């Protein structure tokens, strides 16, 4: 009886250890999931900030500034993306969009500013990822050329403007004596042809009455 009791006790211990071992296996697997590496190519990526610039420049000759800007962007290894020009009050305005390698954007910007007087500038940056030797990032430079305004010349500092006074006086003169000009136009247009015809008839009659 004592031997049977020992055998059953040993059997229960063995079964208990087996149950614990089988239950521990899935718990370890759930605690340490497998992390997959997405960078399968193994290449190193570099982060670089690309700057885009907007400039407003006042120039003395807009067309000359346009031609010079196209030469400058070409010399820095870039190109002209788009161009727009228009006339306002008889004066030429233009907006150029230029693309240049990012390493030369500062040089192009300084060269464009030298063409005239800088009136406004906006700079924005963008972070891009590149691979060494893959491609050269480009920056975009948008420049607006506008003609330089000529300062108005005032002959007197007390506000007296003789040209404006003459213009106002001449306007009053035209309004007062305008009706005389209108009468003269009517006479020339309406009575003028009859006067010419009468003069021709008089010449013909006078010529026939000569002995």
Residue 84 to residue 71: CA distance in whole angstroms: 17
Q: Which residues contact 99 (CB under 8 A, 6 or more apart)?
A: 73, 78, 79, 81, 138, 139, 140, 141
Per-residue model confidence as pLDDT tens digits over 134-170: 667 899 999 999 999 865 555 554 566 677 777 777 7
Question: Nearest Cα to 149, choosing from 94, 89, 96?
Answer: 89
Show the domains of the chain with their CATH numbers: 51-147 (3.30.70)
More confident residue, 25 or 199: 199
Report the pLDDT value the prediction gives residue 32, as an integer from 0 to 100. Answer: 31
Report the pLDDT value the prediction gives residue 55, as an integer from 0 to 100. Answer: 96
Per-residue model confidence as pLDDT tens digits over 179-200: 777 777 887 788 778 878 888 8
Residue 98 to residue 70: CA distance in whole angstroms: 8
List alpha helices for 32-161, DSSP H: 62-75, 105-113
Q: What is the pTM of this model?
A: 0.50
Confidence of residue 68 (pLDDT cuts 50, 70, 90): very high
Pair of tokens at residue 76: 């820095």
């Amino acid at each position: 009886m004592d031997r049977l009791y020992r055998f059953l006790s040993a059997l229960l211990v063995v079964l208990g250890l087996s149950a614990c071992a089988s239950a521990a296996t899935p718990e370890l697997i759930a605690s340490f999931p497998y992390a997959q590496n997405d960078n399968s190519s193994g290449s190193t990526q570099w982060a670089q900030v690309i700057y885009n610039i907007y400039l407003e420049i006042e120039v003395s000759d807009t067309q000359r500034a346009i031609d010079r800007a196209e030469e400058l962007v070409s010399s820095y290894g870039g190109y002209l993306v788009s161009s727009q020009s228009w006339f306002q009050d008889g004066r030429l305005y233009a907006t150029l969009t230029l693309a240049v390698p990012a390493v030369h954007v500062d040089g192009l910007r300084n060269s464009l500013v030298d063409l005239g007087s800088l009136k406004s500038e906006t700079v924005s940056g963008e972070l891009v990822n590149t691979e060494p030797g893959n491609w050269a990032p480009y920056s975009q430079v948008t420049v607006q050329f506008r003609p330089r305004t000529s300062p108005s010349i005032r002959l007197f500092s007390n506000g007296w403007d003789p040209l404006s006074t003459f213009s106002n006086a001449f306007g009053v003169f035209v309004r007062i004596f305008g009706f005389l000009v209108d009468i003269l136009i009517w006479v020339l247009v309406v009575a003028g042809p009859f006067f010419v015809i009468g003069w021709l008839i008089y010449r013909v009659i006078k010529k026939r009455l000569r002995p």
